[in-house]
Chain A
């Protein structure tokens, strides 16, 4: 029996029936995961004492096929028993008709194990701990340091949450059929899920029907965990011949999904007396957890973004991803470089007073300074225009100077413990957002869109799910080119003929390519519609080749298919008694090619700002004063969603730093940290945590 979606109850609103967690079957099981209590060793036995005849325990012995998931370069067990890798690794699942009972049984399982202890634990990094390493050198930064008088060194520690926490819990719903399986899950890589299930269950991929349900985030860990959960549910469904729903509990979500990537970034810079950076040494260290299939990509993206769009005369970037006996850490595909931009831009803001220039001047000088033969280059034609635009609309230079003088005055008050005025600060940040990284471990080389005009004149656009704003933009484009009413334009998911399909387009900001393809498909349909009988279906494919663009080994060339650029200014006020921050204003300028729908673009940016603000502080951060400007451009439209993720944290850090007069190097922040850093003692990023 197919799963019920209770149309009468659920489809009363758009999207309301798009979630796997709302699907059910009358005779279904709920699955809960029994997790390893040890980080290294072997599981000897698992017993559920309170289990009744309605419940079942499933271990690795019940897997009909291979107990392994292949996910890019990573192999991990579906249910582990030997060689446990981290505390909380799945070792068995319990099935029960009641969800609470299943979780209760899983929590209270009696697990016998043999724990392995490392003979000697040292803090030194050995080769086995290094998962990825990258060094990029340009010029001779050490010599430049020695000869420079103005030097600054800062270390930043970040542990930024990647997505909203109030979203659907990770999981899947599986319905067994005769010799086949129906899978409903929020995956971005259906082909990989199918292959893994096929190997685990010995069911051929053609007999596995997979329906993607609504996905609310694009994080690395969700992609990985969903595959593992689907495999576990599929095995359970086959064993019991009943539908199985597996949903992570809130605790599991917190421990294994909302497990943000931890990075430590150290900047050491020197400038000449005019503000041009003569040398920049950057050291990036990242805790990737026990395994992470995307570790090399994340690390490379951090390295590419490490000097932003600036041209230091000499630089050395050294990045290392370290393995640890912890669950895999999480990063969002669409904002892998958020940490490095936050550190870099905050660092730039700290350099400015040392060099005796404003932050805006400093940035412009270092964008325009000549830098030939750099190994990799990000070309942003309108960087200075965007920076000047945001500085002008926010009145940045005046406010920066005022707050600078104000903070100098306040130092005297602070010493006499009579701090009564609010503390104010303003921060400027800029960043690029690279779309389609040529060195990605995921294959996105083929981008496809299909367009069909039916006998009744309706137009259907077949593409991977896109946001409502993109839908509206595409509807307008198709309506204009084909001269049809917007109501006649519908969206549908493409039918996948083969199992070797690319990873979902939704993981990448592909609006530029897809819009261009849509225009081509509309033009082709328009040419044929009055010459050929209806229906007509047109397919347009764009092939992205990294040849001639990017050399992954030498790390040279242009790493992205296209790049959008943005700058932000944030003005902050701190309450002198509670140290709670309030935002006085956020100003954003963006160069993202042609803006197809300014209203929706602005709404998208506003939404992103609100989302990012909510992740930066333990206090509730909101702003009712958000001003957005777009640079005029005739270039192809580029992704604007994620640029905000890169600029807002940096602007926030810089503003807080100016307000408290001491560098803040930790995110997310709390009032306590702000107070301790600014007014009690100088503590390092490590100790703050």
Chain B
């Protein structure tokens, strides 16, 4: 079956069975930021943005993504938000394992969309749900705070640290 979707701003027609997992299809299309984690939607290692919402692509059938806009980490990392998060990871001296990148990048993005100035409790609630323990919670909270700060500075048109 031919299915229309927009992947990373590129209109695409994919050949797939309707009940195929979206994560499997995207990996076939060589978007390897989507990892095969738990396949139950729990771990978030296959996270993508589907029409602007963070979802686990392993529990979405391809048919449900028809005519949708999909953003994978490969594209997201080049956006302003992605760059802010990446910069925050670098500045906080935190290196991810490479398997949970999508989970952590999109979780931070989702959190900061909802809470641009997250409290420690809100941040902790997000990071404590991470299934991959390659980074400790305190370091992740630091990254979230740094990202929030970078995003606020950017949206105000100021460089980070500039008053």
Chain A contact residues, CB within 8 Å of chain B: 6, 9-10, 12-19, 21-22, 24, 99-100, 164-169, 214, 216, 247, 250, 468, 472, 603-604, 606-607, 610-611, 614, 620, 622, 624
Cross-chain contact A16 with B33 (CB below 8 angstroms)? yes
Kindly state the separation between the CA atoms of A89 and B97 in the bound complex, as whole angstroms.
32
Give the residues in chain B near A250, CB-CB below 8 Å.
38-39
Does any Cβ of A come within 8 Å of B138's Cβ? yes
B83 to chain A, nearest CB (A): 11
Give the residues in chain A near B134, CB-CB below 8 Å.
607
Known A6-B30, A166-B38, A624-B128; judge A607-B135 contact (CB<8 A): yes
Cross-chain contact A216 with B133 (CB below 8 angstroms)? no
Subset of 7 A-B contacts with CB under 8 Å = A13-B73, A24-B30, A168-B36, A610-B128, A610-B133, A620-B128, A622-B128
Cross-chain contact B131 with A16 (CB below 8 angstroms)? no
Q: How many residues of B contact A (CB 8 A)?
A: 38
Known A9-B31, A9-B74, A100-B24; judge A18-B98 contact (CB<8 A): yes
Give the residues in chain A near B31, CB-CB below 8 Å.
9
Kindly state the separation between the CA atoms of A684 and B132 in the bound complex, as whole angstroms.
34
* Contact with A9, one of B32, B39, B86 (Cβ below 8 angstroms): B32
Known A21-B36, A24-B30, A603-B138; judge A13-B96 contact (CB<8 A): yes
Give the residues in chain B near A14, CB-CB below 8 Å.
95-96, 98
Cross-chain contact B35 with A168 (CB below 8 angstroms)? yes
Kindly state the separation between the CA atoms of A607 and B135 in the bound complex, as whole angstroms.
6
Give the residues in chain A near B124, CB-CB below 8 Å.
624
Give the residues in chain A near B96, CB-CB below 8 Å.
13-15
A670 to chain B, nearest CB (A): 17
* Residue from B42, B43, B93, B97 whose CB has the most chain A CB atoms within 10 Å: B97
Cross-chain contact B99 with A9 (CB below 8 angstroms)? no
Chain B contact residues, CB within 8 Å of chain A: 20, 24, 30-33, 35-39, 42-43, 45, 73-74, 77, 86, 93, 95-101, 124, 128-129, 131-139
Cross-chain contact B101 with A13 (CB below 8 angstroms)? yes
Cross-chain contact A12 with B99 (CB below 8 angstroms)? no
Cross-chain contact B137 with A624 (CB below 8 angstroms)? yes
Cross-chain contact B98 with A19 (CB below 8 angstroms)? yes
B80 to chain A, nearest CB (A): 16
* Contact with A164, one of B74, B93, B133 (Cβ below 8 angstroms): B133
Kindly state the separation between the CA atoms of A214 and B137 in the bound complex, as whole angstroms.
23
Known A14-B98, A19-B98; judge A610-B136 contact (CB<8 A): yes
* Contact with B98, one of A16, A165, A169, A610 (Cβ below 8 angstroms): A16
Q: A100-B20, A165-B38, A610-B128 are in contact. List 17 more A-B contacts (CB 8 A).
A: A9-B74, A12-B33, A13-B96, A14-B98, A15-B96, A16-B32, A16-B33, A16-B101, A167-B99, A168-B36, A606-B137, A607-B134, A607-B136, A610-B136, A614-B131, A622-B128, A624-B128
Kindly state the separation between the CA atoms of A13 and B104 in the bound complex, as whole angstroms.
13
Cross-chain contact B32 with A15 (CB below 8 angstroms)? no
Give the residues in chain A near B98, CB-CB below 8 Å.
13-19, 214
Cross-chain contact B97 with A13 (CB below 8 angstroms)? no
Cross-chain contact A166 with B131 (CB below 8 angstroms)? yes
* Contact with B99, one of A10, A216, A611 (Cβ below 8 angstroms): A216
B39 to chain A, nearest CB (A): 5
Known A606-B136, A607-B135, A610-B137; judge A169-B32 contact (CB<8 A): no
Known A9-B31, A9-B74; judge A15-B97 contact (CB<8 A): yes
